[in-house]
Amino acid sequence: MKKVLAILLVTVLAFSMITVSASAETAKPRVAFICKGYSDTYCYLVMQIFLDYYQKTYADLYTVDTFDGEFDSDKINTLIETCTADKYDVIIMQQNDPDTPVPYVKAAVAAGTKVIITVGSINDDGESYYLDADPVQQGSLLVEYAIKEGFVKAGTKCAVLRGLDGTFHSEGRTEGFVTLLNEVGADIVDNQTAEWSTSKAMPIVESWLISNPEIECIFACNDDMALGALQAMSLGNRTDIKVFSVDANELGCIALKNGHLAATVAQDTFGYANGAADFAAALIKGETVESKRLDSKLILADQVDDIMSTVHGYTDEEIAAVIEK
């Protein structure tokens, strides 16, 4: 599998070719994959792994068209509505928030379209099938580790970078951070949203380094925002702040490998991607599937090579080459 850095250079034309090719095979059942946002490296990675596994395993059974939800709940809802009207057999979507898509998903199911939610779930009373994790657990894993290692204790100055407000994973991870930080008596000096974005996290942290130079730990709801924090810290010549995040995406793994990131959390990427393809195949065949809650795990420097190899496709030589001299 191509690494995410290379994947992000793929042009929109390439996606159009995939979509046109898939749509042309009208004899097969059709599956729509609605990515939460192509600009999110983790969501995009899950979609690419899904497409790779689908091509190897189910290309003879069904076709796939992909769509960019652009982190916009209204656009995602419109895409669900459009795919329902276009009579897709299955819609696979990455959850952006748990509530706004509910009526659109219920309408799709009523029209005969099966709906699978991956990297999340929605509050639709079981109308859809899901492959989900527990974002509160993901946030808690990082704070538990920070407390165990002595990075966080009573009085430790901490800051939180939230994802897009109102979204399931941002709210859950933030809850995991804040609950345990409060329990141990840490001082949360600021808590801001950077909307999952590296470029938006960077100026926030630059400001923190001026207004709250005593910050000792930063907890970010995803690796992209953590990378923005690390860039700000580099410019400010601050190497003393511990940064923790979620996703174990490619750049996050490299930052962890080089000692810039203290820890990240890996979701079950293959469970999300391959599981969604398996669910679609089973539903198309008329088989029964059961929604799944997938585990996440803490990733430290001594475990990151395995993620870089199995998820991001690095060879041992390529892993060795990312170490800063």
Residue 261 DSSP class? S
pLDDT the model gives residue 292: 95
How far is CA 177 from each of CA 4, 165, 167, 242, 309, rounded to the nearest angstrom?
Answer: 27, 15, 16, 14, 29
Cα angle 300, 314, 248; round to 5: 35
Total length of the chain: 325
Contact 253, 304 (CB under 8 A): yes
Average pLDDT across each block of 10 residues of the chain; the chain has 325 residues. List them in order: 46 43 66 95 95 98 98 96 98 93 98 97 96 95 98 98 91 97 98 97 98 97 98 96 96 97 96 98 97 95 96 95 86
Q: What is the pLDDT of residue 83?
A: 98
The hierarchical CATH code for the domain 135-266+303-321 is 3.40.50.2300
What are the percentages of helix, strand and coil residues in the chain, rounded to 5? 45, 15, 35
Which pLDDT does position 35 carry in this prediction?
98
Residue 49, Cβ density class (10 Å: 0-12 exposed, 13-18 middle, ≥19 buried):
buried
Q: Quick one: pLDDT at residue 246?
A: 97
Query: Residue 26: its pLDDT value, please?
Result: 56
Closest alpha carbon to 37 in 132, 173, 167: 167
Considering the entire predicted model, what is its pTM?
0.81
Whole-number pLDDT of residue 168: 84
- Calculate Rg over the CA atoms of the chain: 20
Strands 63-68 and 30-35: parallel
pLDDT the model gives residue 97:
85
Q: Are 146 and 188 in contact (CB under 8 A)?
A: no
Helix (H, G, I), strand (E, B) or coil at 67: strand
CATH code of domain 4-131+268-294: 3.40.50.2300
Inter-residue contact 265 to 135 (CB < 8 Å): no
Domain boundaries, the chain: 4-131+268-294, 135-266+303-321
- Fold agreement between 4-131+268-294 and 135-266+303-321: yes
